[in-house]
Chain A
């Protein structure tokens, strides 16, 4: 054979060389068939390392390349580019993963070295049979889909729209704004949340380049980078957006109740109207109400109709139906955000049993000036609390629930202390494990709180109970906690307890991520392309992430990531074209018996039966190269390019040759 294979063994500093006997491996590689040269280098991915390969190719010494180094997921692209630069087809390159799946995971040096040899032999045998393939170029549709209208989605959409690119922003709630719209103040600057968010929401609503679809959900995503086809379900609002002017007559008269009755002051903790036809909050964008069909009397027994009667513009349409709309976009930004941990299963904290045990979000809404208490902090009986306990890490840093730190709770807890002190000057206890004030101005804020007479107790709360032991505990909520700084168990009687519930990925994320073929980690958040160097991209080209769908984060980090995601999208759009994988499937028409088995195996409907020729044909534009058809073809007529049977057979032989 005329194959001249060059094998390059990387030391990766001591990452590989520390566990693999490089000299032995090099000697071994020299003895393999078709190998004409073997080189070793400290860091193959470095500039001089890459130049070694490029020069050998240019000098005509080699016409196939094997690099034994890290995982192909790490540097396959790097070395493929080297081949291209040297004038060699990039598909004549193979990688042997002797780091992630060899030197890093085994203890015995002799065995690690043996494994490295086997992996290299497999790659050498495989590369000898690889064939050049031509890259396909596809155009990139300049339109982008942003999923989620919280601050992450808003920022990403505005960045793109301001750059003159069309954006489709979809939000499953009736209004954009997300969690930030529910906050009164933001830490540590104590900016008014609505004051900084509302202008952005309004610009989204008015921007000529943004098509805002609220009260809508993604139904289906198909296609690939640059050319996604999107199906969106616009849920029926039962209010005609064209006619409605948001006057509010409907919800003022509506007799239905959307917010469950508790029979006390806390029962109406909601920012917008608590009626069945409602706006989520007054600054909603779009400012159009929605009917909650679960509680609407008209939808339950057909007997009401007051909203339609009072609407002067006849905007109420009870017969409205869900509508499916379709779009084509080039890139997708996932910004599905978070939901807070539900503390109900943590029975010992008494949420749901005791009126005055609240979640952080409920307390947030209570503090919000547009909430139904008008921003007043009140107990269920309507009185002002004299003492409030703030319990940190509820559902975070807890192996029973979520192991990770939710990052923002310490800071919002400190913000609550400040708000309580400012508004009612009640006694405040912060029960914390560690205070994590990591951001700009955060430690300073904590320091300021130390001077505001807030009691800090270091210890995880064991229980919140109503059972008194002493006289002073009667009629109070008693927090039992081990004060680890004092070294004793304390019982602290309080009027109100706020649980700092952690952040979890939104429950809608798995479905949406599934539609985009993006993986979810065991913590429930999206797995990014690289935890350090690819925090806004995903393993699926053309799908980017922003905000809390990746991990819990505060507003500045979310906004930064959203802008990063939109700039990544912009760089794709500006390129106009993108090269995509050429490792698709192809049918050998002479062998195809026309059984059509593959037609139904293909998940992308990329294989069609050609009636005239009597054979199946692959549409390369649709094929994503999974190879399922090749594996299923009974007459072996389909070959999965770059993963051909003979290439994989050669790899198996190489692995097992020792």
Chain B
């Protein structure tokens, strides 16, 4: 069986998710490998989301936000950029190629661009192959993730209470 990469997209509500919707409205076809998570702003995307996605079996992660200067919340995309830069430096430490996590600016009007990027990225990940270090990554990051999960489950329970 050929390798079909699994890609998780984190899209900001105002620009990139709308842009992805526009690709749909315009019926532009692209690779079916991406599944998106909508967040209000790319500034909401924590590095742990990306690690979690890789940890759960994603072969690549696309982060997309508004173009610089166009952020609906003024500057959340700059925060996303900073976090992405940092994460790029950490990923090799875990044996993950930094190219597996891509940051793009996609405007609400750029449906075609969204489709092109997804196609390109899917091919790029296909070439990189499956994230072979999934198991070792799991081992290496087990403590971090488990700790984090405990943490958020507590906070979730606290919120509900």
Contacts and interface: CB of A to CB of B under 8 A. Distances in A.
Contact of A636 (B14, B32, B45, B155): B155
Interface in B104-161: 107-110, 115, 148-149, 151-153, 155-156, 158-160
Interface in A592-633: 601, 603-604, 624-628, 630-632
Range for the number of chain B residues in contact with chain A: 35 or more
Interface string B10-38: 00011101101101110111111001111
Contact of A626 (B32, B40, B148): B40
User: Chain B: interface secondary structure?
Assistant: mixed
B100 interface: no
Nearest to B151: A636
A438 interface: no
A243 B28 CA distance: 62
A601 B149 contact: no
B52 A649 contact: yes
Contacts of A631: 43-46, 79, 83
Contacts of B28: 105
Interface in A230-263: none
Contacts of A630: 44, 46
Closest 10 CB pairs of A and B: A100-B24, A627-B44, A628-B43, A626-B73, A626-B41, A603-B74, A104-B24, A106-B32, A521-B109, A111-B32
Nearest to A638: B155
A104 B44 contact: no
A649 B149 contact: yes
A603 B29 contact: no
A119 B115 CA distance: 18
Nearest to B12: A626
B25 A628 contact: no
Given A100-B20, A527-B109, A636-B152, A651 B44 contact: no
A627 B43 contact: yes
A604 B72 CA distance: 12
Given A603-B76, A632-B79, A636-B152, A643 B39 contact: yes
Contacts of A540: 72
A126 to B, nearest CB: 9
Contacts of B43: 626-628, 631
B107 A131 contact: no
Contact of A644 (B110, B148, B152): B152
A520 B70 CA distance: 9
B46 A72 contact: no
Contacts of B103: none
Given A131-B159, A626-B43, A646 B152 contact: yes
B36 A643 contact: no
16 contacts: A102-B32, A105-B23, A105-B115, A106-B30, A131-B160, A519-B107, A590-B158, A626-B41, A628-B43, A630-B46, A631-B44, A639-B155, A639-B159, A643-B40, A644-B152, A652-B58
B30 to A, nearest CB: 6
B58 to A, nearest CB: 6
B158 to A, nearest CB: 6
Contacts of B45: 631
B17 A73 contact: yes
B51 to A, nearest CB: 10
Nearest to A628: B43
Contacts of B17: 71, 73
A656 B48 CA distance: 16
A427 B156 CA distance: 79
Contacts of A520: 70, 109
